[in-house]
Amino acid sequence: MRIEAPVVRFRDARLGRSYQQLGDALERRFTGQISCLADSRSQQRRFSFFLHHPAVHLDQLIWGVTQRGRYQVQLAGLDHVLVASDTTEANLKATQGYRKDKKLGVTGNNADPGFFLHPGLALCPYTGQPFGCVSLQVWTRQGSADVDYVESQKWFNTAQDVKQLARRVTVVNDREGDIFALWVQLEQEEMFMVTRARQDRSLVEVVGRSGKLWRRLAEADICGHFHLNLTADARERRSARKTMFSLRHTPVTLKSSKYVRRGEEAPRADLYAIEVHECPEFVPDGEAPVVWRLLTNHEVTTFEQALQIVQWYVYRWRIEETFSAFKTRGVDVESTRLCDGEAVMKLGIMAYDSATRVTELIKAREDKTTPATAFFGEAELECMEAILPDLEGTTQKQKNPYPSRTAAWAVWIVARLGHWHGSGKPGLIIITRGLERFDGIFFGYNARKRT
């Protein structure tokens, strides 16, 4: 897969070539093992040399990742862009015996070595199609890349990074991003946000209405119902199902919980609250109903507007899919055996870029308009055309149903190589398996052309 993007320049041309080759290998092979990414022993040494080189900086690699995403947003030419933001960690306890330095610090349990990533993933507000990573922060706790501010600052940094991304930007966060000061900042920057309420917030009193968020939403009338397919979540003990939700919304005014001097006016944030509650008759036995309470500074006065906010929040799950591709179900950067902690973080930055690209490809599986050249080179598409007859069956149902050389056409071929037989939609495992298999086929295709 190859996507045109701004070039990351290094002071040594050899480092630039190694950067390009390593990026291409991560796209094709999806592994954190340098020995598996390289085609030869000499290339393995070059990759390791690049990641350990002191002239290769974390900020330099982050710039390369985010500029590619920004370039994709510019190509789309949209006035409104969503940016999903969240944090993941790379826990390297399983391979800690390979590195003796203390550059990594500890992860969320304050014991295992590793590092954190906080990306901002740009999304199309109409389809949820990912455009790429447009903001990225990488740090450790008590390691070489430790931050000099409280970690909650990451939400403010993302908002600052993306405020010029489009004419209108909506940041979509989960509960951890529900911070009163962030609402105030976004109002000043004329930006928008959708987030899940972290707690039962105190509201400015209204005559005859509750002063707490949960109760205020419960007092609002149900304005409609809608269906939604829920994915399984082992952490929440939730099974996959198609279910129905009721929807309520109401304007609210948050008040700051900080002490204010007598005579001074407390800061306020005028928002809209939405409650999404799973209907009891659709909840399986032994499970709790799904309840989301969302806050936004977009105007919400109708059922359609509230439903749009809910859809944008659902699109936030795209960033969770990139995290899955970054970890054991995809690149599996946590399996790397690099002996230097900072080299591991460099690999992690490039691996996350690869994870976002494969997520973009998966979401393009029904895209009949985007050309396949957005993901693959001309020689790769020629190879796909050559092997297509061997992947299609004899009946019309077994043929590739998409226009030639579109993104969906290419994904169909990759999915078939990943042993997808047409049932359901191909996911991460099938697509990554298909790309790995295609890499071997393309190698043989090129070898045959040369002879």
State residue 259's pLDDT score.
52
Average of per-residue pLDDT values in the chain = 90
Last residue of a domain, one of 357, 381, 413: 357
Confidence of residue 147 (pLDDT cuts 50, 70, 90): confident
Give residue-wise pLDDT tens across range 112-137.
999 999 999 999 999 999 999 999 99
CATH number at residue 336: 3.90.350.10
Question: Per-residue pLDDT for 347 more than 50?
Answer: yes
What is the distance between the alpha carbons of residues 79 and 368, in angstroms, rounded to a whole number?
Answer: 22
Same domain (yes/no): 416, 443: yes
- Average pLDDT (165-184) is 94
Same domain (yes/no): 302, 382: no
Give residue-wise pLDDT tens across range 213-263.
999 999 999 999 999 998 888 777 888 899 999 999 999 998 876 655 555
Q: What is the DSSP string of 285-338?
A: TT-PPPEEEEEESS---SHHHHHHHHHHHHHTHHHHHHHHHHTTTTT-GGG---
Q: Judge contact between 172 and 193, C-beta under 8 A.
A: yes
Would you say the pTM of this structure is higher than 0.85? yes
Same domain (yes/no): 257, 125: yes
Query: How many CB atoms are located within 10 Å of the residue 183 CB?
Result: 22
CATH number at residue 379: 1.10.740
Last residue of a domain, one of 325, 357, 389: 357
Confidence of residue 153 (pLDDT cuts 50, 70, 90): very high
State residue 418's pLDDT score.
94
State residue 102's pLDDT score.
79
- The structure tokens listed for 48 are 């390791």
What is the distance between the alpha carbons of residues 298 and 249, in angstroms, rounded to a whole number?
Answer: 12
- Average pLDDT (411-431) is 92
Same domain (yes/no): 353, 392: no
Confidence of residue 180 (pLDDT cuts 50, 70, 90): very high
- Average pLDDT (101-111) is 86
Q: What angle do CA 142, 148, 149 make, to 5 degrees?
A: 110
What is the distance between the alpha carbons of residues 323 and 200, in angstroms, rounded to a whole number?
Answer: 29
State residue 29's pLDDT score.
84
- The structure tokens listed for 397 are 């149902």
Q: Judge contact between 170 and 131, C-beta under 8 A.
A: no
What is the number of structural domains in the chain? Answer: 2
Last residue of a domain, one of 313, 329, 357: 357
Name the nearest CA neighbour of 30 among 383, 379, 257, 351.
Answer: 351
What is the distance between the alpha carbons of residues 306 and 252, in angstroms, rounded to a whole number?
Answer: 14
Same domain (yes/no): 409, 315: no
What is the 8-class DSSP label of residue 402? S
State residue 3's pLDDT score.
47
- Which of 95-104, 165-174, 188-197 is predicted least confidently? 95-104
Question: Per-residue pLDDT for 148 more than 90?
Answer: no
Q: Which residue type sits at 444?
A: G
Question: Per-residue pLDDT for 56 more than 50?
Answer: yes
364: which residues sit within 8 A by CB, 6+ positions away?
129, 370, 374, 375, 407, 408, 411
